[in-house]
């Protein structure tokens, strides 16, 4: 009996120790799990903080829409750049359709029915294609817009102000194709316009090249100096531009050499009319540095396709006609003659 009681008591104590051991182990595991969860939460908070920093420091607008096209976020840069009023967010974030409708109503998409603008954009969004395009806002700002669909639905869109970049690109392109002094097309752009005009004349019609050379420019330049000479060249360019139609091209080829591409003419006489008009512009003297300067203009004319069908052909023959004008007494115009 006594042995049995002792055995029972021993077994009972052993089980209690086991339970206590198991409980202690479970608590340790729970504590470890809590520590891991805390570390995970801290990591998650840090990632969220970094994500928020990226969103708010993104060099432009950034917005996110879910698969129902409800706005999830819109950074402050976008609100400021696109001039979103506080009322737009008064009842929470707007839907993408709300945003389209707001923009259409204030003229962001240009003229037209606002409902048509909204419907067209919603239809494009539903196709879920990535897109990149530029939009010029009513205030003149040029915005580059990039949209990308997200896996599982939704869209992320970025907005960058590229106004200055596009202006610089346009200025560089303009400088590459225009004379720095007179702002007329230079030889590069002139040749391109001439090539196009000849190609059109080959299909039917006629075009003319006028090669122009200022008479007695060097003595004037020597007398007035380079500053006065430059002032005179600018004034010459203005009178030449006044002589031609919008679809004609006046170019400065270098020094005191100019040229005109005349398009859309029907006969040689049309080219003669322009040449006489140009020469009449030089009948009155120029005022340069307080002095009255009288100069003339010699002109040589070649026609395409009559005199040639390449830029080199036409320019050589117009230059030959110019030589005839200068050797024949100056301040006159001549057509190229094969004989």
Catalytic residue numbers read 256
Neighbours of 281 (CB within 10 A): 15
Q: Quick one: DSSP state of residue 111?
A: S
Rounded to whole angstroms, the Cα distance separating 163 from 200 reads 36
Q: How many CA atoms lie within 13 A of 283 on its CB side?
A: 6
Q: Which long-range contacts (CB under 8 A, 24 or more apart) does 321-329 make?
A: 321/211, 322/211, 322/212, 322/213, 322/298, 324/300, 325/298, 325/299, 325/300, 326/213, 326/215, 326/298
Cα dist. 255→124, 213, 219, 260 in Å? 54, 9, 14, 15
Judging by DSSP bridges, how do beta strands 257-265 and 286-288 pair with one another? unpaired
Q: Do the beta carbons of residue 96 and residue 71 sit within 8 Å?
A: yes
**157 closest CA partner among 92, 69, 288, 218:** 69
Q: What is the 3-state secondary structure (H, E, C) of 23-72?
A: HHHHHHHHHHHHHHHHHHHHHHHHHHHHHHHHHHHCCCEEEEECCCCEEE
* Separation of CA 128 from chain center: 25
């Amino acid at each position: 009996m006594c042995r049995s009681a002792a055995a029972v008591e021993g077994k009972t104590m052993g089980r209690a120790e086991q339970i206590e051991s198991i409980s202690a182990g479970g608590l340790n595991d729970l504590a470890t799990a809590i520590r891991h969860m805390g570390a995970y939460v801290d990591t998650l908070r840090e990632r969220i903080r970094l994500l928020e920093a990226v969103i708010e420091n993104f060099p432009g607008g950034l917005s996110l829409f879910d698969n129902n096209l409800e706005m999830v976020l819109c950074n402050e840069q976008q609100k400021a750049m696109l001039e979103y009023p506080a009322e737009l967010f008064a009842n929470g974030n707007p839907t993408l359709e709300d945003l389209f409708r707001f923009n259409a109503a204030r003229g962001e998409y240009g003229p037209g029915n606002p409902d048509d603008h909204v419907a067209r954009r919603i239809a494009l969004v539903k196709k879920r294609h990535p897109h990149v395009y530029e939009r010029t806002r009513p205030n003149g700002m040029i915005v580059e817009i990039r949209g990308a669909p997200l896996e599982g639905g939704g869209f992320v869109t970025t907005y960058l102000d590229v106004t200055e970049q596009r202006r610089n690109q346009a200025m560089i392109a303009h400088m590459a194709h225009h004379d720095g002094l007179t702002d007329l097309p230079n030889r590069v752009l002139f040749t391109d316009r001439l090539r196009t005009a000849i190609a059109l004349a080959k299909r039917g019609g006629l075009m003319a090249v006028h090669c122009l050379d200022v008479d007695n420019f060097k003595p004037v330049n020597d007398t007035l100096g380079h500053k006065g000479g430059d002032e005179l060249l600018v004034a010459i360019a203005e009178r030449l531009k006044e002589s031609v139609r919008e679809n004609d091209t006046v170019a400065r080829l270098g020094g005191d050499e100019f040229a005109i591409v005349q398009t859309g003419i029907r006969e040689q006489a049309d080219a003669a009319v322009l040449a006489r008009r140009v020469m009449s512009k030089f009948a009155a003297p120029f005022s340069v540095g307080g002095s009255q300067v009288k100069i003339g203009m010699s002109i040589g004319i070649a026609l395409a396709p009559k005199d040639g069908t390449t830029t080199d052909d036409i320019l050589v023959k117009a230059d030959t006609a110019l030589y005839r004008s200068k050797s024949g007494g100056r301040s006159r115009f001549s057509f190229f003659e094969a004989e």
